Amino acid sequence: MESLSLIFLVPTLYLCFLIWKLFDQKRDQECYLLDYQCHKPTQDRMLGTEFCGKIIRRTENLGLDEYKFLLKAIVSSGIGEQTYAPRNVFEGREASPTIHDGISEMEDFFDDSIVKLLARSKISPSEIDVLVVNISMLSTLPSLSARIINRYKLRHDVKVYNLTGMGCSASLISLDIVQNIFKSQKNKLALLVTSESLSPNWYPGNNKSMILANCLFRSGGCAVLLTNKRSLKHKAILKLSCLVRTHHGARDESFGCCLQKEDEQGKSGIFLGKNLPKAATRAFVDNLRVISPKILPTRELFRFLLVSLLEKLKIMCTYSSKSSSGVATIVTKKSPLNFKTGIDHFCLHTGGKAVIDGVGMSLDLSEHDLEPARMTLHRFGNTSASSLWYVLGYMEAKKRLRKGDRVFMISFGAGFKCNSCLWEVMKDLGNGYGNVWDDCVEDYPPETLVSPFMEKYGWVNQVDDVNNVELPDFLK
């Protein structure tokens, strides 16, 4: 009898051990965000309305049509007067940048964000196991990741990933790399560095589809500290729940809507095609189709399925019943998923006012939900891949993030790509320091977001010949 009990006991204990080991191993695969630090350039790099006018005025090859186009683009962009630009723009050398300009811009960012992040977290550079750097528009030799390793003396065995050409969605691509490393390796610390180098990428031509990028992009960046160490779990502020990447590069229309290329005069810049909104919408829908079952409660998915079936039955019945004129009358009503049932905060890419409006309309979001993205666009502009972290910083500064809340991040990028992820807030946030919003968050949201450009430059729309007009003193 004892032998029989032993025969059953040993396999049972072994099975319990395997279950415990599997559960314990999964705990080591979690991705926690310990801290992040956005970059705020110095005041001497702030773009005011008058200085923007001077930049446009001194740009060669621009005519009256281009001036009117730029005025309309800037006014409707949602960008305010406190965004930042590279130093070579203020020195009047935006059309003739050097390699040093790009490297210097990145080093200013490194020395601000990385240094502050490591000091506040009390993490030594020698403790970093993984380094992921994404700067899409600047590739140097040695790489920017190598410059970080040399500058802060990281270990010789640090695992390094240096990404270029990934566009505005690169931040979540870098996060996906870190997450996959954490699934296979225990007790790791990762430093994610995300930014964009604008210094060498000013477009000096007059192609309207390419000068638009000069209006939208601004200087910025963010350094993020991630870990899967259980011993640091109590220090974490966010935990990554899931991440989904969508890439439509196989579709020619999507691939060609955002390109770095040369215009007819051989001047290089970023081309933004008219079909970009369509490509973004298609990628957005496909991304939501995959991530929705991962982040929404079962009751909401069941409700959506039931409503969808009823709508299809209604359409079928309407087709079968003809009107007296013999023409079918089709009445359809869209019933989208209610993402607020599984998400508390929406962290949207600040690609422009139209991007924010489009995502807000698709997800049926309120102005309260869109406020962080709108205010980030107004204060810092489109900082490319790092923009999501400025939006998160606004939420934190406004003390919106509470333990247990779920934060949904979504970004778009050339390719065409749409990436999204869901975070769980690990503790109440808003009492920290070093947030780039700390000195101005009380002023947001402002009473109005109306651009001052129309007030100062609206006279351009009344001009027939720009060479025969009396310019304001600040433009002379």
- Enzyme catalytic residues: 168, 247, 345, 349, 378, 382
| Coil, strand or helix at 325 | coil
Tokens of 266: 């051989």
Cβ partners under 8 Å of residue 282, min gap 6: 248, 251, 254
- Per the CB < 8 A criterion, the answer to whether 172 and 419 are in contact is yes
Question: Residue 407's closest CA among 427, 428, 421, 386?
Answer: 421
Q: Please give the Cα distance from 452 to 446 (Å, whole number).
A: 13
Q: Please give the Cα distance from 230 to 186 (Å, whole number).
A: 9
Tokens of 181: 């490393």
- Burial track 92-123 (b if 16+ CB lie within 10 A, e otherwise): eebeebeeebbbbbbebbbebbbebbbeebeb
Q: Please give the Cα distance from 339 to 344 (Å, whole number).
A: 9
Question: Residue 300's closest CA among 311, 288, 290, 292?
Answer: 292
Strand spans (E) along 228-376: 238-247, 258-262, 268-272, 345-348
Cβ partners under 8 Å of residue 454, min gap 6: 71, 75
Q: Please give the Cα distance from 46 to 87 (Å, whole number).
A: 10
**Separation in Å, CA 331 to CA 4, 309, 317, 318, 361:** 70, 15, 11, 8, 21
- Per the CB < 8 A criterion, the answer to whether 284 and 268 are in contact is no
Q: Please give the Cα distance from 359 to 370 (Å, whole number).
A: 9
Tokens of 318: 């309407």
Residue 422 Cα to chain centre, angstroms: 13
Q: Please give the Cα distance from 85 to 350 (Å, whole number).
A: 17
| Coil, strand or helix at 413 | strand
